[in-house]
Amino acid sequence: LAKTTQPISMDSYEGQEVNITCSHNNIATNDYITWYQQFPSQGPRFIIQGYKTKVTNEVASLFIPADRKSSTLSLPRVSLSDTAVYYCLVGGLSGGYNKLIFGAGTRLAVHP
Amino acid sequence: DAGVIQSPRHEVTEMGQEVTLRCKPISGHDYLFWYRQTMMRGLELLIYFNNNVPIDDSGMPEDRFSAKMPNASFSTLKIQPSEPRDSAVYFCASSLDRVGGSGNTIYFGEGSWLTVV
């Protein structure tokens, strides 16, 4: 399973755009990149998923360069309610098993 | 859709007691996962099932932990005997198909908050 590296924490202010970059140098050809969001006292929640180039939904955008060795989650105009932990995950197959392994995630704090 | 339903939401028990956590996955989902989350270790995958069959239990910490899925709509995670270090949030999750692929995502329940004193 491709290992991911992302910043442990980030700080931002309301109304700013936040970009969280994740490195996944050994991503496999069939791997997709998925981002989850976790609020305190809740389970992780799917945000966005992509394979290459750019994906956008009502919550965020995901930018994936041609080599796919990294990806950037972009949150436009964050608010206090975007304070959460954001996890970058790659693929789902590990040693023949189909599972998702979460890393430490990025703890985003949005300030007034 | 009711989502993944877990019970109990909170439990406080004494060391040595048996703890049973319950999960109802989203109807039609073929995969069920049990995760544990602590401040020190983050989110750890304990075990997952495919079509009610345990596929990978390499994350189960020790023999005190066991999980079953007697049918497609119900799973249990049991700890016997419980110890203070088992205190954590236990999440159940389910997915329609193989995770990581296009359109396939994993849906988490709200978690069961376990405190062993």
Spell out which residues of chain B touch residue A99, defining contact as CB-CB under 8 Å: 33, 45, 48, 56, 99
Dist. CA B37–CA B31, nearest whole Å: 19
pLDDT for A3 equals 79
Dist. CA B51–CA B32, nearest whole Å: 8
Task: Decide if pLDDT at B100 tops 60.
Answer: no
Task: Decide if pLDDT at B62 tops 80.
Answer: yes
Burial class (CB in 10 A: 0-12, 13-18, 19+), B85: exposed
Q: What is the mean pLDDT of residues B12-37?
A: 96
Alpha-carbon gap: A93 to the closest alpha carbon of chain B (Å): 8
Spell out which residues of chain A touch residue B93, defining contact as CB-CB under 8 Å: 43
Chain A from 74 to 93: CB within 8 A of any B CB: 87, 89-93
- Taking chain A, what is the end-to-end CA distance rounded to the nearest angstrom? 38
Cis bond before residue A65 (omega within 30° of 0): no
Dist. CA B16–CA A3, nearest whole Å: 37
- Ranges of residues in chain A with a pLDDT under 50 are none
- Interface contacts (A, B; CB < 8 Å): 67
**A93-94/A97-98 β-pairing:** antiparallel
pLDDT for B17 equals 97
Dist. CA A92–CA B116, nearest whole Å: 33
Alpha-carbon gap: A3 to the closest alpha carbon of chain B (Å): 14
Dist. CA A72–CA A74, nearest whole Å: 6
Task: Decide if pLDDT at B103 tops 70.
Answer: no
Task: Decide if pLDDT at B26 tops 70.
Answer: yes
Cβ within 8 Å, pair A43-B100: no
Spell out which residues of chain A touch residue B102, defining contact as CB-CB under 8 Å: 32, 49, 51
Q: What is the CA radius of gyration of chain B?
A: 14
pLDDT for A41 equals 86
The mean predicted confidence, pLDDT, of chain B is 92
Largest CA distance in chain A: 46
pLDDT for A28 equals 82
List the one residue out of B111, B86, B92 whose CA is nearest residue B34.
B92
Query: Which of B36, B105, B110, B113 to mutate to probe the A interface, most A CBs <10 Å?
Result: B105
| pLDDT band (50, 70, 90) for residue B102 | low
Dist. CA B94–CA B107, nearest whole Å: 5
Cβ within 8 Å, pair B101-A105: no
DSSP B25: P
Task: Decide if pLDDT at B60 tops 70.
Answer: yes
Q: What is the mean pLDDT of residues B11-31?
A: 96
pLDDT for B21 equals 98
